[in-house]
Structures are given as C-alpha cells and as structure tokens.
Structure 1
Amino acid sequence: MKREEKISSFGFINVDKPSGIVSSTVVNKIKWLSGVPCGHMGTLDPLASGVLPVGIGNATRLFDYFLEKEKEYVAEFTFGVDSDTLDSTGNLIRGGHVPNETEIAEVLPQFFGDIMQVPPKYSAKNVNGRRGYDLARAGIDFELPPKKVHIYGMECLGMVEGKEDTFRIKIRCGGGTYIRSIARDVASALGTKAVMSALRRTQSGIFNLENAIPFSVLEADPTIEELEKLVISTENVLPFSPLALSDKQEIKLYNGQRVAVDCADGFYKIYQNGIFYGIGEVTNGLAKAKTKLC
C-alpha cells in the first residue's frame, strides 16, 4: 500500500546497510516511505554491510558526479580456500597455504594505482545481454575482460581474532572495484587462494559511517516529517563551488543559454534567486547548465 504523502526534500539518505539483505531492499523501503523514485549510489553485495547512499527524487540525476569518488572498505580475506563466487557464500574448496601478516603486507603495494582487474563471474557484468551471475548459475562457461580500476592504498590490519586463516584488510579504491577480485589477486600473488569472508564499506565520497543511519530506523516506518530530517540536501553533498553570476546571467543559464564567465574550467553549483537548482559546467570561459534539478 502506497503512502498518501510524498516527501518534499530531495537529496540523499545515507544508510548503514546490514549484512544479509540486498541493496534494493533498502532502496525499496525508502521509495515506499518517501513516495518518490529512489536509487542507490553503488550496490553492496548481500554479504556486505556499511555505507549505502540512496538518492531521493531528482537527486538520482547527480549519480554520475559521484561514480569515481574514493571509497573505503574493511574486508576480511580467508586464505587457503577457493570459491566460485570469490566469497564465502559460494562452493568452498580447501587448497593453498595461509600466509602470515608480513607476507600479506609486502604484496599489497603491487596493487596500488591503476590496475587491470578481472571482475568475478558472479557479478552484474553484462555478457551478450545477460548478467554474469545468471550465466554462472546456469553453468555456462564464459570469460570477463579485465577493467581498469584505481587502488589508492591498502593496509593489512592483522589477523581476525580466533581465525588464524583470516586477515582484515583496509582498502581505499575508486568506483567499480571488486573487493572479491582483490582477495583472489592478492592470494595469487602469494601463491595461494583466498575468498572474501566479510566486507564493510566505511566511506563512499563524503558519505561515511558517522553520517549513516541504521536500517532499523527505516524499518520503524518514520513519518514524512521524520524522514525529511534524515535527508542530506543535494547542495551540501556536492564538492563544487558556487558559480558567481549576475541576475541576467542566471536567467540565461537557466533557460539553456551559454554565458561568458571569468573562472576556471570545471563543474559548479548554479543558482537562481539564491535557490540552488543544479550543476553548471564551464569550458573555455563559457558556462552552461549541465544538470538541472528543477
């Protein structure tokens, strides 16, 4: 049953997704609570928990500006075991040795910077019109091409207490990086096997665990008024400076015309009558409205 009321504040709700549910469960809950279209800004596997920013209403138009932002994860890699899914939810096969913390720390820098990474077969990657996980579940053999991703840094945080084969790894990376693939590749560099056995996203751009709300808050069915208090405005999440324009320039820009400006190339927040309405782009001294939210 749909709610009769609809939210009036468009922006983002940053949710701390628990392990064991799919990201769409969070999105659908917020969609029902708000009464408007919603979407998440980078899925988390059911096994994973942590930061899941959900765009509400026209805020979903801004996703492209966040895709390459830095993300941070704390993962657990279990060594001496392999899996068809590259994580602990798949068919596990024991094999290979368990390295020590020093050995793991020594190979991590090999993966810093731009690297070519082969995604897991059990992923949403498109293969001739079909999802990789659908083909894998059907037993169809296929290969996924490597994709360039960026790793800002990794750090071995030590052995997980009570699990001599499992180590905790902090990873800072760009968008599109598969942590399951990192587990596979780090283990391969050590001459062994490993799977991702736990994952928590601690940061995605400006969104982090400190400004995230537990999913249980949404499960309690907050009122529209209560929901609006959880929304982070679109204006506040964008890392761009305001574009200084005259009243006439504001009107021209809003109506789709280009205007001459004296500022560096790049993206800017644009306003009309003091009201934020979108993203402008400046190229060679000319500004245009790139993404309008109203």
Structure 2
Amino acid sequence: MKSMPNEKNHQFILYHKPVGVTSFQALSPLKRTWGKKLGHTGTLDQFAHGLLGVLTGNLTKLVPLLTGLDKIYEAVVEFGRQTDTLDPEGAVICQGRVPVLEELQESLTKFHGELWQIPPEYSAVHVNGKRASQLARAGASVDLEARKIEIFDLKLLDWNPPFAKIRVHCSKGTYIRAIARDWAISMGTCGMLTSLFRQQVGPFQCPEHQEILSPRQLFQSLNIPVYTTEQPEQARFGRPPSLWGSWAPVPQLALMDTDDNLVAVLKWDGDWQYHFVCA
C-alpha cells in the first residue's frame, strides 16, 4: 500500500488542470497522493485548462490569501455566435455578424482599467444560497449584480475570422466569458469563448503537468518575509504574538518552526495579529 505523506508535509501544488473535467474532479488524482484535505485557489470551467493552485493539509487555511491574486489568461473568442453558457458546452441562443479587424481594435480600448462586470448566468456566483449555474439549469430567472473588476492589460494576439485570440491580465473575480460577451455587444453582435487557458496566478506560472512548492518557497514567491521560531506552541495556544516575538513591521510575515513547517501568518495593524494559524 502506498504510504501517505507525513501529516506536516503540507505543500502548495501548481497543477495543470486538463480540459473536460471540473476543478473538483481535477483534484481526484491529487487526493490519492496527498489525502482528502485539499483546497484549490480558484475554479476553472470544465472547458478550460491551465493553472489550478492546490493547497494540502493545514495549508488549506491559506486559500483566502491566494484567491485575491491577479490572473493572466489566453482565450479564443468566436464572434457571430453565442451559447447560453458563453462557452462551447451550451446551446446556441444568438447568431450575428462577424466584425472587422478595425472594429476589434477600436472597441478593445474600452476594456481597460476598473470596470463593472455582470457575471455570466452560468457561474459559481451565489444567489440566495445557490449557485447561479444551478438556478439557470433549472430554468429559473437569474438576476446578477454587476461587480467591480480591473483589467490591467488586454491584447489582441491573433485574428482569424471569426476567431480572435486574446491575452488578459485581470483582477480576481473577472469572468473572461463575460469579457467575450461584452466585447461583442459593444460592436453590435454576439460572441462567446471557444477556449480558455489560465497561464498565471500572481507570480505562479502554469507548469506542463505539476510543480510542488514548499511553504517557504510559496512565501518567497509572494515576497512575504519568512522567520523561524522555536516557540510554535505559542501560536498554537493563541498567545498574542507581541507577547512572545519581535519582528520588524511589514504588512505580513510567515513563521516556520525549526523543521520548516508553517506555524502561522501574521499581519501588522499597529501591532502583530494572527492572520492564519497552521501550527
């Protein structure tokens, strides 16, 4: 029988989710190696592929720390056709004209900076305790509110009518399917995604298959200082950090024990406070 990793062998896995499986299904092969205590840091649609950040063991407590990172995608938009899901898996509900290159280039300038975006009806956004996608599939009317997002960069990489390949650098909570929808609407037509690749999350790039980072490597990649403590039990018992440690003020820092296991993440707010305790 294959031995399971030590309980304290907590890692951050950069996993390349394949096309055709949900983010939840993509975790199955990882659970056979790392156990059931896994958490991913941002859902990818079934038709999409690319980087899925996966935390194991007690590092799952760090999910909120990573979900706020910006993301980079490459996507292919098809103009003149739209499905109810805004991707290849839905039913066609609209057909329209295919714009010309000059229209694409001019309209693309509208999609930069802070924007208000209405998520797709088929999405993981919760409405009255249920996912919008569940309500939409049940035939219920879904009324979603616009949310503020930010597009840091959006480039047209290729135009092979009716398909436009784009690269998007955006904030958390941005739906690339919604960008395709709104981009088409801005030119008086309809559109949808035919493919989506999540290339990068924060400083982490998508590997060919998977890459494993230790907690120390994770924090170094995030430019969060790492300190070693010989008193991990102080965090475990919830003793205020200022009573047992002294560190230079920075927004956040990570504490590791002498075996290089993560103890806690502290945040500075005029005094040190626990952000996450993993001891």
TM-score category, normalised to shorter length:
0.7 to 0.9
Q: CA deviation at 1:273?
A: 4.3
Task: Find the counterpart in structure 1 of residue 267 from structure 2.
Answer: 281
Give a deviation string over 1:175-208, Cα, whole Å, max 9, x none: 1111110001111111111011110111112221
Secondary structure of 1:231's partner? strand
Task: Find the counterpart in structure 2 of residue 290 from structure 1.
Answer: 275
Residues 1:247 and 1:122: Cα distance change in structure 2 (over 3 Å): closer
Q: Distance in 1 between matches of 2:229 and 2:204?
A: 33
Give a deviation string over 1:217-239, Cα, whole Å, max 9, x none: xxxxxxxxxxxxx5211221122
- What value does the CA root-mean-square deviation take over the aligned residues? 2.4
Question: Please, which runs of 5 or more residues in structure 1 have no aligned partner?
Answer: 216-229
Task: Find the counterpart in structure 2 of residue 53 from structure 1.
Answer: 53
Q: CA deviation at 1:251?
A: 7.0
The sequence identity of aligned pairs, in percent, is 30
Q: CA deviation at 1:128?
A: 1.4
Letter in 1 for 2:188: G
Task: Find the counterpart in structure 1 of residue 4 from structure 2.
Answer: 6
Q: CA deviation at 1:98?
A: 1.2
Check the 8 A contact 2:10/2:57 in 1, yes or no.
yes
Q: CA deviation at 1:172?
A: 0.6
How many residues align? The count is 271
Letter in 1 for 2:248: C
Residues 1:123 and 1:237: Cα distance change in structure 2 (over 3 Å): same
Check the 8 A contact 2:225/2:252 in 1, yes or no.
no
Task: Give matches, 1:55-74, under 5 Å.
Answer: 55-74=55-74
Give a deviation string over 1:108-138, Cα, whole Å, max 9, x none: 2312122111111111221212221121112
Task: Give matches, 1:107-122, under 5 Å.
Answer: 107-122=107-122
Q: Distance in 2 between matches of 1:288 and 1:135?
A: 40
Q: Distance in 2 between matches of 1:83 and 1:272?
A: 52
Q: Distance in 2 between matches of 1:29 and 1:246?
A: 34
The partner residue of 1:268 within 226, 234, 253 is 253
Task: Find the counterpart in structure 2 of residue 236 from structure 1.
Answer: 217
Q: CA deviation at 1:242?
A: 2.7
Q: CA deviation at 1:240?
A: 3.9
Q: Distance in 2 between matches of 1:181 and 1:33?
A: 36
Secondary structure of 1:156's partner? strand
Q: CA deviation at 1:269?
A: 1.4
Residues 1:243 and 1:157: Cα distance change in structure 2 (over 3 Å): closer
TM-score by length of 1: 0.84
Deviating above 3 A after TM superposition, structure 1's stretches of 4 or more consecutive aligned residues are 243-248, 250-255, 260-265, 271-276
Question: Please, which runs of 5 or more residues in structure 2 have no aligned partner?
Answer: none
Task: Find the counterpart in structure 2 of residue 101 from structure 1.
Answer: 101
Q: Distance in 1 between matches of 2:131 and 2:33?
A: 30
Residues 1:130 and 1:245: Cα distance change in structure 2 (over 3 Å): closer
Residues 1:20 and 1:243: Cα distance change in structure 2 (over 3 Å): closer
After alignment, is 28-37 or 251-260 more displaced? 251-260
Give a deviation string over 1:11-31, Cα, whole Å, max 9, x none: 122111111111112212211
Secondary structure of 1:148's partner? strand
